[in-house]
Structure 1
């Protein structure tokens, strides 16, 4: 099983970061390459449309508002992986600083672990930089 992760420090409170990033449907609010998020099954599934028109469907697997974390799996998408499970987590680094971690595990299909890990690491690093730019 392959893994990928990225993290970033943001100089605002963890609660403020979670307010923007913590909603399962909120990706278009802070992630520029996600143009649309449409809820399904009472908000447990999100159907995403990327800026270039690709479609991704993801299922919310766990959500902890107090712990500022949620995990999700990919149901359908353009990625050559299976058994994908990712977690987004916001932790406090003092009163006015937050650390955001985005990580996943998955089984690559048709590519090496290293190639797949590099793809997702790039997505996470770009996404977290975009999140930080909102503050």
Structure 2
């Protein structure tokens, strides 16, 4: 995939497989299936294999064909994909306002422990600390 072409937007199913590859590194289709099957009883090896092949075709995955079985690896780092998806979400759902996204997350989806950690980060940033 060219460095200048936009990232393909992964589907929810593709994100599940990407998450496994980001977490465990390059894997063959059987290993990806095994990890997915731990979370989803309805997972099918044939579906996982086909999905990995489609993701390779879209440019989301690279494939090491010199090894048997072939190893799949995410082309883009997790942070880059998350940033791209978040930018898209902010634009579509929050009218371009990162503040609206953060306030919604803080009100609805952040535990008290996470909120304290966020406050500490913000205090340190305001004080000029890394």
TM-score, normalised to structure 1's length? 0.22
User: Which has the higher Rg, Structure 1 or Structure 2?
Assistant: 2
TM-score, normalised to structure 2's length? 0.23
Q: Which has the higher contact order (CA 8 A, sep 6+)?
A: 1
* Structure 1 or 2: more strand by fraction: 1
